[in-house]
Amino acid sequence: MSFPGWISVHTHIGPLPIEDIVSKKLPVRILTNNHGLNVWGTIQHYKSHPPQTLIRFVLTNGTCIETTPEQKIYTAKKGYVSAQQITEKDRIVTLRGLSHFKYESPTSIEYIPTPYRTHELVIVEHHTYFTKNILVKDTMV
């Protein structure tokens, strides 16, 4: 459950590529979600993984995100589901500003091989975080 290095994560100093956060073990606070309330969380673990096939989603708002098939993503009706279970009928919860949500559906879903390492964070509080405005769950839950 992880993301390629170029995917940004919301931090208290603005969006940063996950690869930079993990490789430099940056002590940044991460925007996390506690049952609908966004709060700043603390990174407990920084992890990197070997290259693997990714899923690429393009959402109705134009956002493009790549992730591993096992990554849990929050959807409006199903809650957290693995990326490989998401269909074009699902509505993915996305962030607008720092405290409002919007729902976007995938307009395309494709599997792509990649030579790049993937990275993940484990957050102490609530085990969730936002990547490219999409609410995801870390591996500790």
pLDDT digits (tens, 9 = 90+) for 44-67: 999 999 999 999 999 999 999 999
Say if residues 49 and 43 touch (Cβ distance below 8 Å).
Answer: no
- As a whole number, mean pLDDT of residues 24-31 equals 96
**pLDDT at residue number 123:** 94
- What pTM does this model have? 0.92
Structure tokens at 135: 């609410």
Q: How far apart are CA 82 and CA 67, in angstroms?
A: 10
Domain covering 3-137: architecture: Beta Complex (2.170)
CA gyration radius for the chain? 14
Q: How far apart are CA 123 and CA 101, in angstroms?
A: 21
**pLDDT at residue number 96:** 82
